[in-house]
Amino acid sequence: MQIHKYRAKSVSAAIAMVKNELGSDAMILSSKKLNGQGSGHLFEIAAVASNANTLDQTSDSYDGVRSELVSIKEMIYILNHSEGMMEKMILKPATLTLYAKMLRNGITDYYARIFLEQGGALNDYSPECFKAVREETIRIIMKRVEIHNFPETINGGRNITALVGTTGVGKTTTIAKIAAQMSLKYKKKVGLISIDSYRIGAMEQLKTYANILGIPFFPAFNRKNLVAALERLKDMDAVLIDTAGQSQYDGKRIEELKNMMTDDLNIQSHLLLSVATTEEEMNKTAEKFSSLKFGSYIFTKLDEAEKCGSIINQLMKTQLPISYLTTGQNVPEDIEEATKNRILKLLFSKN
Ligand SMILES: Nc1nc2c(ncn2[C@@H]2O[C@H](COP(=O)(O)OP(=O)(O)OP(=O)(O)O)[C@@H](O)[C@H]2O)c(=O)[nH]1
Ligand SMILES: [Mg+2]
């Protein structure tokens, strides 16, 4: 297989040359900076036309900088999605792949850069260290992710948790899933309360789940009811409170919820965000609900999401932990306790 070398004054010009001659499926074998005469640096890219069968042999025998192969498509994607990062990373194709994956999976350019910088990916290092640098970058990301392992927190005292979030994000369904998991898998005594008096049938929905699971359920229309219901459920290991869906634009309703769930009741709020919504919507929602001092995230509708990078963006922004991921409409199956490994897989799942 023939190796083609292209030299140009900028990375983007060199990439354009590769694309024009070898097409957008071409793969980059190596890239380096050369000292140009008089006119500054030159970039040299060695590439081959795409042919999976011969690529391995070619890269093995190629005496330039060996790396995982990066496609021209990926390079073009990065050029279009980040400012000046390509120049910094062009000499490190392996970390460039990592960077491209993060962007493709929806991690913002800002956080992707932070991870790469902290992982040492932008420092000078020899080609043999590619793997170590990639591993360090991944380790940095995982260090920043905090897991709130919900059932494990129920040791001794009663745990009271309210699920909050926008309309239709999956609060009631998720409560049923968690309640089932807690009572069936963890053998905990669980009680349910619904304070969703806005939507007709909302309380019935949770009551039905409670009946199926054979666990107690109480509706609460005001704070007095809520206090009474909590009193009646005082022997439970865990109480899960379902709340009405709040529009992230309706500050008044969020305020009402805050007035109902006063600090003395010791209720921990968890914010549900659908991964299927936009980054902007997630940010707005998290900001609006911050007055409820939610203590962790539950990300819903992973099955409907095209990419999951917004999870890490949220976790980084607020430095809060994640407790659950939900993956479909089936109760009680479609829920997973969050783990670092699962999140890592989600973040790097796209090629
Ligand atoms: N695809 C998918 N759908 C889900 C998931 N979780 C919940 N749903 C669906 O989303 C819809 C709304 O779910 P609910 O649990 O009623 O949402 P809610 O937040 O309680 O809604 P309101 O009480 O109206 O605010 C239902 O059709 C659920 O089956 C999930 O993980 N994936
Ligand atoms: Mg509901």
Say yes or no: CB of residue 245 within 6 Å of ligand 1: yes
Whether 288 and 169 share a structural domain: yes
Domain count within the chain: 2
What pLDDT was estimated at residue 94? 67
How confident is the model at residue 68, as a pLDDT? 53
The closest-lying atom of ligand 1 relative to the alpha carbon of residue 163 is 19
Pocket test for ligand 1, best of 164, 169, 173 (most atoms within 8 A of CB): 173
Are residue 202 and residue 265 in the same domain, yes or no? yes
Whether residues 49 and 188 fall in one domain = no
204 and 224 in a single domain? The answer is yes
* pLDDT of amino acid 158: 83
Ordered DSSP codes for 69-118: -EEHHHHHHHHHHSSSHHHHHTT-HHHHHHHHHHHHTT--HHHHHHHHHH
| Distance of CA 218 from the midpoint of ligand 2 (Å) | 15
Euclidean distance between CA atoms 153 and 143, whole angstroms: 20
Closest of 151, 182, 105 to residue 346, by C-alpha:
105
Asked whether 208 lines ligand 1 (CB < 6 A), one says no
| C-alpha of residue 163 to centroid of ligand 1, in Å | 12
Q: d(Cα 289, Cα 269) in Å, to the nearest integer?
A: 10
Q: What is the CA radius of gyration of the chain?
A: 26
Assess whether the C-beta atom of 169 lies below 6 angstroms from ligand 1.
yes
Q: What is the DSSP string of 308-325?
A: -HHHHHHHHHH---EEEE
State if residue 199 touches ligand 1 by the CB under 6 angstroms criterion.
yes
Look at residues 144, 173, 203 and tell me which one is the last residue of a structural domain: 144
Q: Is it true that the peptide bond before 216 is cis, omega within 30 degrees of 0?
A: no
Question: Looking at 129, 144, 159, which one is the last position of a domain?
Answer: 144
Q: Which atom of ligand 1 lies closest to the CA of 205?
A: 16
Do 281 and 186 sit in the same domain of this protein? yes
Question: From the CB of 171, is ligand 1 less than 6 Å away?
Answer: yes
**Are 155 and 263 within one domain?**
yes
What CATH number has the domain bearing residue 306?
3.40.50.300
Whole-angstrom Cα distance, residue 47 to residue 156?
A: 62
Q: How far apart are CA 107 and CA 112, in angstroms?
A: 6
Q: Of 144, 164, 179, which closes a domain?
A: 144
Give which of 308, 302, 299 is closest to 327, Cα–Cα: 302
Task: Name the 3-class secondary structure at 341.
Answer: helix
**Ligand lying nearest the CA atom of residue 168:** 1
pLDDT in tens, 175-208: 999 999 999 999 999 999 999 877 778 889 999 9
How far away, in angstroms, is 274 Cα from ligand 1 center? Answer: 9
CA distances from 269 to 191, 297, 298, 301 (A): 16, 9, 11, 19
**Statement to judge: residues 46 and 173 lie in one domain:** no
pTM of the model: 0.83
* Pocket flag, ligand 1, residue 327 (CB < 6 Å): yes
**Index of the ligand 1 atom closest to the CA of residue 168:** 21
The amino acid present at 119, given as its one-letter code, is: G
Residue 52 CA, ligand 2 centroid: distance in Å: 50
The atom of ligand 1 lying closest to the CA of 334 is 31
Which region, left, alpha or beta, applies to residue 170 given φ > 0 means left and ψ of -120 to 50 means alpha?
A: left
Edge-first strand listing for the sheet containing 335-337 = 217-219, 190-194, 238-242, 159-164, 268-274, 296-300, 322-326, 335-337
First-to-last alpha carbon distance for the chain, in angstroms, is 24
Nearest ligand by distance to the CA of 167: 1
Whether residues 331 and 201 fall in one domain = yes
- Ligand 1 contacts CB of residue 329 (under 6 A): yes
**255 and 273 together in one domain:** yes
Q: Which domain does 170 fall in, by range? A: 151-347
Protein residue with least CA distance to atom 13, ligand 1? 170
Whether residue 115 is found in the same domain as residue 260 = no
214 CA → ligand 2 middle, Å: 19
Report residues of the chain scoring pLDDT below 50: 52-67
Q: Which of 329, 333, 346 to mutate to test the pocket of ligand 1 (most atoms within 8 A of CB)?
A: 329
Q: Do 181 and 249 fall into the same domain?
A: yes
Ligand approaching nearest to the C-alpha of 324: 1
For residue 37, the model assigns a pLDDT of 66
Indicate whether 103 and 173 sit together in one domain: no
Ligand 1 centroid–CA 281 distance in Å is: 17
Atom of ligand 1 nearest to the CA of 304: 1
Alpha carbon of 171 to ligand 1 centroid (Å):
6
